[in-house]
């Protein structure tokens, strides 16, 4: 038995409940492990004993059963499954799910879960079309609950319309596709790809003890390095000073200044992809002191600046050494898309992830980011999301670029 294909089948009350008998048989024939939870109403349509016989397991019905809680609590029931499958999903159970109600075992398990949930609704056509059910349906879909059906047909009550449950064979196909997708998404898709990521701020020395810095936390760049590594890439992270731990499984080169960052980017081999997420200082102090500048009565130091190398631009124009895919960031406080699109051309990179860093957005140093993904064919504006989610979305783009 494949241990990673465990289904918690939640049976709610409806005439279609009898179809779960053949569904369990089909799932088990296809090597899924099935454990059943049923509502009180479901017991009117199909007996716990039949479901227990077919699943060859205990059937769970009671939220407050001491034996169940001792053997397997409701939290454990959902944690132990890879997928929660609600068949049939009655109007009542959909309503409870949509509204976070949990007054029986089935609804409690569904509220306690962090696993994918699929439902196969079955109800009278008028109940299905009622705005309350449609609102619940929309809510559940927006929370990534996968809804299978319903389909049109003759109902048990003799009426005709939408509300009939899809057949067990079709439910099986959807379940199989789901597990195939999960298996594929676990394939490391960037195996063999060498990737460079820059992250964090740079520190530009004024003298041996003082420096000029910026507020970059490095969170976005580090999240990108981590996500790329998880996708199977061989990642080199060139990081300015941050408070973050080195990502596991990533080669990390710690640098301080922009010049040292450029050297590290150039001295560590050739890359297939480079992502420049570092907030590199535009200028360095030209007359940085070799010794600590002393306070002299009334005399203020005067700093002279020199322009720092533009690492992104340099690597983008490195001829044969140019990575196939070069990605830059553009932090702007106004006209974000317009300025960033111009930057993509000016710096000769392939993609730019542009974000608004005006103080009210809290992006700099914060947890969230809201990105405009700019490429040669246009702009995609992403909804606000965590920096980790931005990293994952970018990795999806990189994977699509290399794997079509």
Q: Which of 102, 157, 259, 265 is catalytic?
A: 157
Within residues 189-218, the interface with ligand C5P by CB under 6 A covers 198
Alpha helix segments (H runs only) across 10-162: 19-29, 48-55, 66-71, 74-79, 91-99, 105-112, 125-129, 131-142
- Minimum CB separation of residue 223 from ligand C5P in Å reads 15
Q: Which one, 167 or 263, has the nearer CB to ligand C5P? A: 263
Q: Which of 109, 148, 196, 258 binds ligand C5P (CB under 6 A)?
A: 258
- Counting contacts by CB under 6 A, is residue 394 touching ligand C5P? no
Q: How many helices (H) and strands (E) does the chain have?
A: 14, 22
Q: Which of 312, 325, 354, 357 binds ligand C5P (CB under 6 A)?
A: 312
Q: Alpha-carbon distance 216 to 281, whole Å?
A: 11
Q: Which of 308, 316, 341, 363 binds ligand C5P (CB under 6 A)?
A: 308
**Which tokens belong to 306?**
């020199």
Q: Alpha-carbon distance 404 to 401, whole Å?
A: 6
Q: Which one, 231 or 277, has the nearer CB to ligand C5P? A: 277
Binding pattern to ligand C5P, positions 265-304, x when CB under 6 A? -----------xxx-x------------------------
- Minimum CB separation of residue 260 from ligand C5P in Å reads 12
**Which tokens belong to 94?**
């959909």
- Minimum CB separation of residue 344 from ligand C5P in Å reads 10
Locus of tokens 């609590």? 73
**Which tokens belong to 257?**
């200044």
Q: Which one, 94 or 394, has the nearer CB to ligand C5P? A: 394
- Counting contacts by CB under 6 A, is residue 328 touching ligand C5P? yes
Known catalytic residue at 157:
yes
| CA 286 to the chain's CA centroid | 43
Q: Alpha-carbon distance 45 to 225, whole Å?
A: 53
- Counting contacts by CB under 6 A, is residue 223 touching ligand C5P? no
The DSSP secondary-structure symbol of 360 reads: G
Q: Which one, 137 or 276, has the nearer CB to ligand C5P? A: 276
By CB under 6 A, which span of 13-21, 138-146, 244-252, 324-332 interacts with ligand C5P? 324-332
- Nearest-5° Cα angle at 148, 133 to 178: 140
- Counting contacts by CB under 6 A, is residue 330 touching ligand C5P? yes
Alpha helix segments (H runs only) across 73-167: 74-79, 91-99, 105-112, 125-129, 131-142
Query: What residue ranges bind ligand C5P (CB under 6 A)?
Result: 198, 258, 276-278, 280, 308, 310-312, 328-330, 343
- Which active-site residues does the annotation give? 157
């Amino acid at each position: 038995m494949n241990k990673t294909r465990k289904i918690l089948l939640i049976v709610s009350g409806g005439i279609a409940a009898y179809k779960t008998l053949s569904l369990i048989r089909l799932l088990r024939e296809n090597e899924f492990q099935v454990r059943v939870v049923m509502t009180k109403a479901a017991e009117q349509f199909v007996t716990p004993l039949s479901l227990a016989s077919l699943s060859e397991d205990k059937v769970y019905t009671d939220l407050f059963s001491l034996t169940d809680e001792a053997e397997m609590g409701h939290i454990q029931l959902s944690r132990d499954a890879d997928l929660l499958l609600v068949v049939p999903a009655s109007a009542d159970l959909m309503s409870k799910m949509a509204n976070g109600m949990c007054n029986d075992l089935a609804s409690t398990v569904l509220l306690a879960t962090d696993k994918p949930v699929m439902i196969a609704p079955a109800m009278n056509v008028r109940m299905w079309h009622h705005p309350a059910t449609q609102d619940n349906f929309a809510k559940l879909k927006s929370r990534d609950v996968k809804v299978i059906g319903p389909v049109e047909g003759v109902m048990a009550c003799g009426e005709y319309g939408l509300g009939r449950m899809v057949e067990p064979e079709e439910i099986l196909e959807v379940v199989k596709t789901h597990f195939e997708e999960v298996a594929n998404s676990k394939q490391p898709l960037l195996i063999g790809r060498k990737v460079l990521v820059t992250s964090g701020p740079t520190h530009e020395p004024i003298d041996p003890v003082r420096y000029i810095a910026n507020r970059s936390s490095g969170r976005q760049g580090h999240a990108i390095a981590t996500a790329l590594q998880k996708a199977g890439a061989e990642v080199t992270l060139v990081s300015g000073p941050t408070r973050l731990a080195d990502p596991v499984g990533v080669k990390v080169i710690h640098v301080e200044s922009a010049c040292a960052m450029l050297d590290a980017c150039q001295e560590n081999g050739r890359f297939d992809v480079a992502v420049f997420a570092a907030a590199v200082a535009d200028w360095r102090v030209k007359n940085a002191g070799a010794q600590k500048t002393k306070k002299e009565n009334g005399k203020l130091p005067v700093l002279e600046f020199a322009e720092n190398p533009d690492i992104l631009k340099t690597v983008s124009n490195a001829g044969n050494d140019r990575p196939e895919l070069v990605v830059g960031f553009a932090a702007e406080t106004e006209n974000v898309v317009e300025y960033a699109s111009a930057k993509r051309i000016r710096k000769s990179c392939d993609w730019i992830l542009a974000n608004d860093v005006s103080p009210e957005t809290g992006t700099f140093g914060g947890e969230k980011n809201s990105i405009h993904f700019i490429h040669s064919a246009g702009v995609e504006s992403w909804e606000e999301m965590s920096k980790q989610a931005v990293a994952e979305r970018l990795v999806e783009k990189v994977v699509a670029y290399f794997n079509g």
